Structure 1
Amino acid sequence: MSQGISKTSISDIVDQAGVAKGTFYLYFKDKYDIHNKLICHKSAQLLKNALSRLMTANISDFEDSIVFIADSILNQLSENPNLLKFISKNLSWGSLRSAVTQPEDDDDALTDIYDRLKIRAQGYNEPEIMFFMITNVISSSCYSAVLYSEPADISVLKPHILGCVRDIMISHRKDKTT
């Protein structure tokens, strides 16, 4: 699939994987189905790595935790431009949420961390919308910065992205006095 999903055929995929077409269709509807599942899988790995790092960072403030997770995801994508190209602006809150609510490898620890974050998010109006916006800011902002240094290199843009993440959270606080 190095030539992209649109130029890749099912035959290319099954030949590379060493399986029959019937086996492919047993698990996937079409090439876009496997592409979407791989994006979800890679997104889950990004989040899992970020949450693992969070657990060792000993951060107690909720907003600081979310900014830390965002920073970790940005770092991972910066360190792996090929992964960023593959995900290609398709990192979404939906794929991240399903990665932790329906983990493919029975990772209860990841689900537990997500559940704790959800409980802590109760102090925010519409936390699902808040997380959706944060994920989209990260995904769309880092793509051009990492791959093309547009509008600036990711090292220059990252503080602005993380500032936006915090601003989104502040705007969703139920108690605006803190």
Structure 2
Amino acid sequence: MGKLEINKRQKKSALFQTAFDLFTNKGFAKTTISDIVNQAGLAKGTFYLYFKDKYDLRDKLIAYKAGQLFADAHKALAAREITGFENQMMWMMDYIIERFQKEHTLLQFIAKNLSWGIFKNAFARTVPEESQKFYEYYLEMMKKSAVTCEEPELMLFTFIELVGSTCYNCILFEQPVTMDKYLPYLHKAIHQIFLAYTTS
């Protein structure tokens, strides 16, 4: 990777991190592009090299943060001897839930804002290099376990929507119950989703 490319990635990363801090502390509506570039120590023109506007930045930041989280989960999974596609996906979801329990700011930002459209359209273009192929990892795990799924994308969408929405309320508000109390039921629901979408 050339020096110019490294510099570009560092600037984009600085914009992402600064925007995340401002969006989660000050609020999206109250944060301006000037706030972001000033805090990042960059020129306003630099912002427009990477993003069309504040909304484009938010959408790409959501996918970027989600991509980092999925990559972390996959990396942690690779260090363990867990076999079987369902077991592997269940472990990764538990990893993500534990991270959400420890990092409420991340949960509030990702779970509240992540939609399938943002995930699908922005994911591959915005996440770090090591996590660009999360969907490919997902398909590869399925293939290695000899699991057949006619709609893998739809199944992943269901997992993301279910885990994101239920975790948000259980972790932040303990509604309708705490996350610890809800988790066994979430596992059962995930198992039923596997049964509905797959054959082996």
**Which TM bucket (shorter chain)?**
0.7 to 0.9
Partner Cα distance (2:26, 2:187) in 1: 33
- Secondary structure, counterpart of 1:38 in structure 2: helix
8 Å contact from structure 1 (residues 144, 151) kept in 2: yes
TM-score norm. by structure 1 comes to: 0.84
Q: Show the counterpart of 2:99.
A: 76
Residues 75 and 171 (structure 1), Cα distance of their counterparts in 2 relative to 1, 3 Å cut = same
Residues 12 and 88 (structure 1), Cα distance of their counterparts in 2 relative to 1, 3 Å cut = farther
Residues 80 and 130 (structure 1), Cα distance of their counterparts in 2 relative to 1, 3 Å cut = same
1:147 to 155, 158, 172: 172
Q: Show the counterpart of 2:188.
A: 163
Aligned alpha-carbon RMSD (Å): 2.5
Give per-residue Cα distances to partners, 1:87-136, cap 9 Å, x unaligned.
Answer: 2423355627964x557443289556344125357512311111110110
Partner Cα distance (2:161, 2:93) in 1: 11
- Secondary structure, counterpart of 2:79 in structure 1: helix
1:113 to 119, 137, 156: 137
- Secondary structure, counterpart of 2:156 in structure 1: helix
2:109 to 72, 75, 86: 86
Q: Show the counterpart of 1:57.
A: 80
- Secondary structure, counterpart of 2:161 in structure 1: helix
Partner Cα distance (2:82, 2:121) in 1: 22
When structure 1 is superposed on structure 2, of 141-150 and 84-93 the one drifting more is 84-93
Partner Cα distance (1:46, 1:97) in 2: 17
Matching of residue 124 in structure 1 with residue 166 in structure 2: no
Partner Cα distance (1:20, 1:123) in 2: 50
Instruction: Give the drift of 1:43.
Output: 0.6
Structure 2: gaps of 5 or more residues:
1-21
8 Å contact from structure 1 (residues 50, 69) kept in 2: yes
**Post-superposition, which runs of at least 4 consecutive aligned residues in structure 1 deviate over 6 A?**
none
Give per-residue Cα distances to partners, 1:41-69, cap 9 Å, x unaligned.
Answer: 11111111111221122111111111111
The count of corresponding residues between Structure 1 and Structure 2 is 174
Q: Show the counterpart of 1:40.
A: 63
